Structure 1
Amino acid sequence: MGHPNSPPKIMSSSQRPQQVPGGSPELHPSNSATALEDASYYLGRSFQPDDNVDRVRRNLGRAWFTVHRALATDPNLKGRLRNETEFDAYVKPGSNEELELVKLLFSMANNQVPWSDLFKHEAFLKSEAELIYTSNSALATTQAWSGEFKGDLANVLFETIADDLSKDKTPYARLTTIINSSGTGKSRMVDELGKEIITVPMCLRPGIKGMPPPDMKLRDWLVSQIRNRDTVQKRLRGFLFSLLVVTLRTLKTIVSEKQDMELPSLNWESSKEKLQDYMPLVVDRQRRLASAFREHMTTGQLYHASGTHRNTFYDEVIKLADEFVQGSTWVKDEAERQYGWYVMGGKGLQEAGKGPLDAGESLCRFIDEHKILESNHGPRRPLVVLAFDEAHALTDNPRQTDWNLFSELRRTLRQIQDFPIFSIFLSTAGRFNKFSPEIRSDPSARVREPDNRPLNPISEISFDDLAYPALKDTVTIHRVVETDWISHLGRPLFGSYWDKFPDELAILDSARQKLLNGPNELRDDNSAGALACLSVRLALEFNTDVSAHAVSCVQVERHMRLCLSATAGFEELITIPGSEPLLAEAAYELMRDTHRNAVHHLANHSDLNCIDRGRRGELIATLLIMQTYDAAREISGRRWVSVANFMEALLPTWNYEMLLQSSPTSWLVKDGPKNRDNTFQAIFKDYGMWFNHVIKIETQEMISSNHLWKFVTRGAMILCATNQEGIDIVLPICHTTRNLCPDSMTAMVIQVKNAPTYKATLKSSLFDTMDRAVLFSTSDSDFAEASGEPNITELAEPKKKKRKMAPGPSVIPKPEAADLKPVIRVVFDLASPEPAVVFRQWPEVQHHFSGFTTFDIWLAGLSCKTFKQIQEADLESYQILLERSLMPHDALSLKDEPNVGEKARQGKEASRQSMVPLILPGLSHHGIHL
């Protein structure tokens, strides 16, 4: 919503001017009462009783401008005002907040509600609680920014840039984007790079505050005077020229003030070894120049304002750029003929020659006078990095289909691509795919040439760099569920926030707002927010089609999903939900507060067709398990739950009570009679679980107690790799009185079936196939070798030649008491037409060695008679998910055309089904055989 132009100033309330089209008047700054009176008058002129909804929505920006100007005259309210960006976030299109404000304006236009009530509305004024939170958040963010940078990400960025500068590569321009979701440390990474490489920081964030603070004058200058493409090209060339010149001026000033920046003179007759000795001196000087320049540009910066030096720097850049534009002519220079753009002519400004080429050359030679750091092959050390933060302002202006500020700046930067000067563009809130549009549709013909392809975006971010050490046998389950612990896992945003402002309610509220991109409660109309909550908890994977690509982009840009990798033009985009228990905890609270079962959010979601639903019903199973765990939390009253709590929430009451008193299905041979008499309740008395999200593993090797304890430290359940043999889901279980380590771990292992052929009859063979995945102790390797059973911890090792073994002992030595592994093995037979809960009975004779005690359970059918968390009202949604899990796509049921009429639907469905003969028993698949 743009600001309207300000009309002539009002002289008095008794002599009101006519409404100025397209804008609100400038209000009395000296009298707040008069300002409110004038504002009410002009609001009444702006909103009429016969306005339709679309007109009111279009005028919301005018309402904000009028109210903001009126309330700004009251010193007691000025600090509570929402700026334009905050107002836009509050009344996002289609949100309940927008609808409520539109209804209120209708009521006021019809004289049902006085206009004075609008000046109290939260759309314009922050609440006291929000004001306190914002203040604390700003303080925590500012302090965190100046804290210690942890991790090696800045070095990774340095090496990536050096590689992209290689002369062996011939990209369209030496620039790329850094793309990823909010709070992943992109800006801090670039700031840290500034200690090694001279980095020119430019923050184009909308509004007036944030970290780093926006360079408002530069931002406004860049996006102003966008009349035509020629004007923009001329201004951007002047901008690049002036940016390089002022950077050089500043570096020269720094050197003049710091005498230790001078290098000893170089004798070109020195031996090659001498030149090699000189190179570290050049690198060290560059590093010290970079650090001094960074200090110059960041000194005095606050959450709401840049420091004096930085403001002066960009004042000079803008002034020189304007002079360049005024002194430019259409004189063509032979060296720049290929661009056909402006060169200097007629006026002064000879400090760095004719334009960006000479300015770039002068800057590089000041840093590396003799090209000591140049390399004709392989990576080149960057000398200067131009960093545009929150750079979506460039892609959004102007709103043209064939060009924008970024595309033109990219063309301008192409002029200096032979220098070791690199440009990076960071963005979170913007449509980041505009920075790398599909190559075949790029507005630049050069970009579409195979030899000039853009560089791939950079997606690597800081993750777990602030996490507390999680060494085995050092922490308990009681420690790893604390908010302090989970806030430091994942992206650095929340850990750095906690370190400066350790408030549990505040940090969870912040996580909720980040997850939903603004509000802190999940409304029915926020489908993207619901998908974000489901994704972060259930590890949802998206398909690779075009619609899923668009959904993925939105989730990364606005809802904290991570971009793992992307190629130029976003021909390939891989996104994932990170393992971040704090975000998962926020998602748990958000969905809990909707008072709706999560299955309704998922089964009826408009983007379900974009989600990989799992061909064996894994998604339904993980959803059921998560629902069960959430209910168990209510029983236990804490984040971690006992095994008994979980089973109580999983099974119907009668079956749960039966389980508590049941004996094991199998047990240790030597200790058989003793274990046989033990009950489930007694054996699992001191065992517990902790998870609020899913991690999908890629190898069976991870299903070992050597690793299982690590999942507890992250609060994660395990979804097995695709086509994993024997099991599909693992729920880590730990001894709650011991530290987390391999010897304190066991698990519940689950196999999922969605074929109706299994029905309600327990099949022992399915439990037997789970044996390969239940060797949970490092000490179990001895028993595995003696019994001939495979050792899960050795599966990833290269195959070795089998050696003959002497016959094993008749009695396998039993493990120590600490190594006893009570394992729960469960089959989810989801498609069974008959509901049933079946406990496998222990055999009369133990036929084979078991290195653990097991309880085997068969759960048949999606029914409230099988799963306690399934209610009658949920059955339809579960059946929808079950049916869709059996199909790789939704094309046959026309999910891509939800609004097609019934007759057309019948014909189209039949036609599509005939295109895939014999895959299903429906008549349309058997047309020629009828």
Structure 2
Amino acid sequence: MDATNDKPQLVSKEEEEEEEAYYHRTQDAQLLEVIGDFGPSKKSIYSLSLALSYLVYNARGRLNPKFHHLDIARDLLENDPELKITLEEAWMKKEFKDVRNQMVKSAWNREYTGGMHRLLLDNINAMTQHRDYAGFAAIVQSSGTGKSRMVHEQAKLVFTLPFNLRNEGYDELFVTPYPEPDNNVRQFLIGFQDDSNARNNIIVFLGKIYELAAKRLGSLLNGGRMKRQEIAECWHDYLQVEGVRSTFYQDAIDATKESLGSNGMGGGTQVTMNMFTELLKTITEHTTDEAPDDNHVKVILYFDDAHRLIPSSDRWQPEINVLEALQSCLVSTYTRQLFVLFLSTVSQLGEFAPILRLPSSARTRGPGVLQAPITELPFDCSPNLPIYPYLYKLDDLSKDRFMAQFGRPLTEQSKEIIILLDVRLLLNYQQHRDITIRHEDNLVANHMRMIYCIPNTRDYLRSSYSSEPILAEAAAKNLEKYSEEFEVILDALQEAHQSGLLDKGAMVGLVARLLLTFAYDRAIRDIYPKPSGRPHYSRGVRLIDFLKALFCETWIDAIMRCTPDNVSSKVTLEDMFKDSYVRFTHFGKVTDETGTTTEHDRQDVDIMIPVLMWNKELCEYVMTAICIQVKQRIRTGDLNAYSIDQRDINLFPEDCISKETPREKSCEPVRPYISLILELALEPPPRIHSNLTRKTVSRTGQSAQSTEEGDPRSPPTKKFKPDHLDAPSKISTDKGREARYYHDLHPRYNIFAYGCSSTVYKKVNESIRYALIRLLHTPSFLAEHPREDSRSLDAVRNMKPFWSAGRASYHWLQNRVEGFVIAGSMEDTDALAADDVADHGEET
């Protein structure tokens, strides 16, 4: 059978080269307009750093964006003399292509930090491998997390055959990737036009790879013996020699074509398995240490950017599912000594997960055979970590050099509002819905969202944006354009809410985070008047300024003058926190694995904002917090019931609150905290109150009054209208009131905010208020029913999805009493009232 590639090429090599040349010419011209021609005055490290910074910026994310920051660019040049020389020569020639390519290589060749490659190998060896199809796994994670580098380093631990299937050179970015992709292998694999031809070629190709690897390894070792890891590292270094890897794979491709051309069969499955056995024999013969047990893999294959083998509209990808054909061939030659990894940013779980779809001839598989995708990748792995207390001040934390140490040192350039909000507000998505899976897949593949877990079933994933200061700063700056158009932000959230993307049960927390974040942003922009430059959101602001940006001016004086309610003190909030700062650009989830709750089984703190009490070197002893509870109820809550006590949440360490050390004899100053209760309450219309009263009376056995205005048991159903809900807007504080108890060492400043209108929050006009109410409104499932007429909805109620007062639930009962409820509690009444709010309204 002919192995030649008949598939017509969509783009010729000459066209690719011209596209690349055009890209570099355009980029060079734009760069030179900014930095000018090279001269003696431009040889300073500052000028070179500035040029490199602009070069990265103009690349628009095609190079590692962290080097756009001047101090980080300077670090790179100081630590990489070769790149510095390359930059000077490029500047003199006015051609910067070599610099762009050299930067990628420079970043790759830095010393690897961390032990994730060892963890990966340990996990592989621990996986179930006593059944077929178990020696395969996908590594699926977003860009910039070090997938390629991790398996590259793992290849120094175990004998590895690496295949880099990235697009040929440029992928429309025209910056040569490093390490260079195996173009000949990718072109060979994507060139087949039918499954049968693909399988025949691939099975022979694998055999030739094993055969050639055995021969070249034997020649490389030349009879010498060493430990298995040393053999792996020797082979790894051999493939790094320029031209060796490309020639090795080309020889295997040529041998495949020759074999298939001579007899039309090429040897098939058994020959390939024999060649793999020969490779194992060669490794064993040159090994001095004892062989690990049978569950330890001896050879690893990995395919980087494996999604390139799945059909798509991309000009570089195949017309058939070559990945499936490749996996089928690997299954047919499977042995426990072999493990195969597929790397990708794409989580097309139904199609991409290894061996999810075997050919119809494959044997039936039992449950739990396939390996769950691997998502554990390096994070927070700067060589400068860990950091130590007492070394940094607030200004140090806002510097790019400091922030780049955490998470991935990349910044996201997306302008899509919902993605930017996700980075900053920690959006909660509805689980197990198709729209959510597609959305999260897109975020992981294209917008740097992190995958934490893909279960064995592969039908959903757990993902989020981790705490990455650089990423959050970039998102804040991209959202800045909407600072005077808050409605645009709310429209984006409302669209996601109505589409079923956002978790409806988590909207109250989202609205609270939204109000807090954009108040913080306003306070930051007040520090940076427009003529002075662009705001830096990681800088932090005075706590007093943050509160003034959050709450309406009407209440600011009362808030500033409030005093502690748990100790005998007349020190006002304004005086106590006059030197304090807050700094938050995004939110992260906090968990307590002990599952601590209070005696009322309620969560004590929903949001916690760190507060730097004094601008000193950072350590625990200069920190406190704003502890926030977020509520959404029909009636306002009791102040005492929802006050936050720092002792319940262990806000301060034990040695800080010990009564055995009198405060006046210690050097530790008083550390207060703020308890902030946000009641984002929706007040129901008067009609609901009357319904509540009637139902309560009925429970006590008294007769409910009937009305001649119509049957209240089955009122007409209408769409939700925000003007039917009024937020009782006010703020309550403790000001000059006698403290209720005196046994706490930490003064608590209590603030209660009710409602979400302009009388409470700053910059909330009527249109914004209505938008917030729409986000807070959680309709019953009847509001989503496609047929909204009263007869259809009564038919649904008649099926008893819930019990409510009215004929729909009690049509079967002869003795009807107006508005009565057979069984239930007052909690049921609240639920019914919420259903009434969703279903009832004024006639239009």
Q: TM-score range by the shorter chain?
A: 0.7 to 0.9
1:343 aligned partner, one-letter code: G
Q: 1:390 — aligned with what?
A: 305
SS at match of 1:609: coil
* 2:180 aligned partner: 213
Task: Name the % identity.
Answer: 21
Aligned mate of 2:352, from 417, 435, 438:
435
8 Å contact kept, 2:562–2:733 = no
Superposed CA offset, 1:610-644 (max 9, x none): 33344582222112111111112112345211111
Conserved 8 A contact 2:133-2:369: yes
Q: Are positions 1:248 and 2:124 aligned together?
A: no
- Quote how far apart the aligned CAs of 1:665 are: 2.5
1:368 to 281, 284, 296: 284
Instruction: Please report how far the alpha carbon of residue 229 of structure 1 lies from its aligned counterpart in structure 2 after TM superposition.
Output: 2.0
- Is 1:157 aligned to residue 56 of structure 2? no
| Distance 1:845-1:862 versus aligned 2 partners, 3 A rule | closer
| Partner Cα distance (1:133, 1:758) in 2 | 64
Unmatched segments (≥5 aa) in structure 1: 7-22, 30-64, 82-88, 91-127, 264-280, 300-306, 331-341, 345-352, 495-510, 517-521, 523-528, 704-718, 787-810
Q: Report the secondary structure of 2:406's partner residue.
A: coil
Match of 1:822 in 2: 672
Verify the 8 A CA contact 1:172 1:446 in the aligned structure 2. Answer: no
The alpha-carbon distance between structure 1 residues 158 and 825, as it changes in their structure 2 partners (threshold 3 A), is same
* Distance in 2 separating the partners of 1:692 and 1:820: 27
Where do 1:460-609 residues align within 5 Å? Answer: 460-466=376-382, 468-491=385-408, 493-494=409-410, 511-513=411-413, 516=414, 522=415, 529-547=416-434, 548-595=436-483, 596-597=485-486, 598-605=489-496, 609=500
Q: How many angstroms apart in 2 are the aligned matches of 1:770 and 1:578?
A: 27
Q: In the alignment, is the contact (CA less than 8 A) between 2:327 and 2:354 conserved in 1?
A: no
Report the equivalent of 1:58: none
C-alpha displacement at 1:139, in angstroms? Answer: 3.6
Answer yes or no: is the 8 Å Cα contact 1:616–1:754 preserved in 2. no
Matched, 1:413 2:330: yes
Partner Cα distance (1:870, 1:731) in 2 = 22
Change (3 A) 1:314 1:390: same
> Is the CA contact (8 Å cut-off) linking 1:398 and 1:404 kept in structure 2?
no
**Alignment-derived partner of residue 63 in structure 2:** none
- AA aligned to 2:189 is L
Within 2, Cα distance between the matches of 1:480 and 1:132? 37
State the partner residue of 1:857.
751
Q: Greater shift after overlay, 831-840 or 694-703?
A: 694-703
Partner of 2:511: 620
Whole-Å Cα distance in 2 between the matches of residues 921 and 573 of structure 1? 41
Contact 2:676-2:750 at 8 Å conserved across structures: yes
Tell me, in whole angstroms, the C-alpha distance in 1 between the residues paired with 2:429 and 2:782.
19
CA–CA distance in 2 between the matches of 1:75 and 1:775? 55
> Which residue of the partner structure matches residue 48 of structure 1?
none
* From 147, 152, 164, the counterpart of 1:191: 152
CA displacement at 1:575 relative to structure 2: 1.5
Note the 1:319-358 alignment, pairs <5 A: 319-329=254-264, 343=267, 355-358=271-274
Q: 1:229 to 1:603 in 2, by over 3 A?
A: same
Residues 829 and 74 (structure 1), Cα distance of their counterparts in 2 relative to 1, 3 Å cut: closer
The residue aligned with 1:311 is: 246
Change (3 A) 1:455 1:765: closer
Q: Distance in 2 between matches of 1:921 and 1:150?
A: 65
SS in 2 for 1:664: coil
Over 3 Å counting, the alpha-carbon distance change for 1:463 and 1:72 in structure 2 is closer
What SS does structure 1 have at the residue aligned with 2:668? helix
Correspondence 1:643 to 2:530? no
Give the C-alpha shift of residue 383 in structure 1.
2.1
**Alignment: residue pair count:** 681
Is 1:695 aligned to 2:613, yes or no? Answer: no
922 and 137 in structure 1: CA distance in 2 versus 1, 3 angstrom threshold: farther
CA contact (8 A) 1:431 1:557 kept: no
One-letter identity of the residue aligned with 1:622: R
Deviation at 1:599, TM superposition (A): 3.0
Query: In the superposition, relative to structure 1, how do residues 742 and 702 fare at CA in structure 2: closer, same or farther (>3 Å)?
Result: farther
Does the aligned pair in 2 maintain the 1:203–1:215 contact within 8 Å?
Answer: yes
Q: 1:74 to 1:537 in 2, by over 3 A?
A: closer
The structure whose RCO (Cα within 8 Å, separation 6+) is larger is 2
Instruction: Quickly say closer, same or farther: Cα 1:860–1:770, change in 2 above 3 A.
Output: farther
Is residue 743–residue 778 contact of structure 1 (8 Å, CA) maintained in 2? no
Partners of 2:633 and 2:681 within 8 A in 1: yes
Render the CA deviation track for 1:177-196: whole Å, top value 9, x for unaligned: 11111011100001101111
How far did 1:688 drift?
0.8
Superposed CA deviations along residues 707-764 of structure 1, whole A, max 9, x for unmatched, are xxxxxxxxxxxx99x97532221111113422222211111111111002117xx623
| 3-state SS of 1:386 partner | strand
Please tell me the root mean square deviation across aligned C-alpha atoms, in Å. 4.0
Per-residue deviation at 1:432?
Answer: 5.7
Alignment match, 1:111 = none
Task: Report the TM-score, using the length of structure 2 for normalisation.
Answer: 0.72
Residue 578 of structure 2 aligns with which residue? 685
Gaps of 5+ in 2: 1-5, 31-58, 61-90, 170-175, 529-535, 683-726, 819-844
Q: Which amino acid aligns with 2:118?
A: N
Match of 2:630? 752
Please, what TM-score do these two structures have when normalized by structure 1? 0.66
Matched residue SS, 1:779: helix
Quickly say closer, same or farther: Cα 1:735–1:643, change in 2 above 3 A.
same
Q: Flag the 1:773–1:327 CA change in 2: closer, same or farther, 3 A.
A: same
C-alpha distance in 2 between matches for 1:454 and 1:427: 17
TM-aligned CA distance change 1:680 to 1:567, over 3 Å: closer
Question: For the structure 1 residues 846 and 190, does the alpha-carbon distance in structure 2 shift closer, same or farther, using more than 3 Å as the test?
Answer: same
| Structure 1 residue 398 displacement after superposition | 11
Q: Equivalent residue of 1:249, what SS?
A: helix
Deviation of 1:75 (Å): 10
The CA distance in 2 between the partners of 1:741 and 1:697, in whole Å, is: 20
SS in 1 for 2:658: helix
On the 8 A contact 1:642/1:689 being kept in 2, the answer is yes
In the alignment, the residues of structure 2 paired with residue 816 and residue 921 of structure 1 have an alpha-carbon distance, to the nearest angstrom, of 64
Shift of 1:243: 1.4
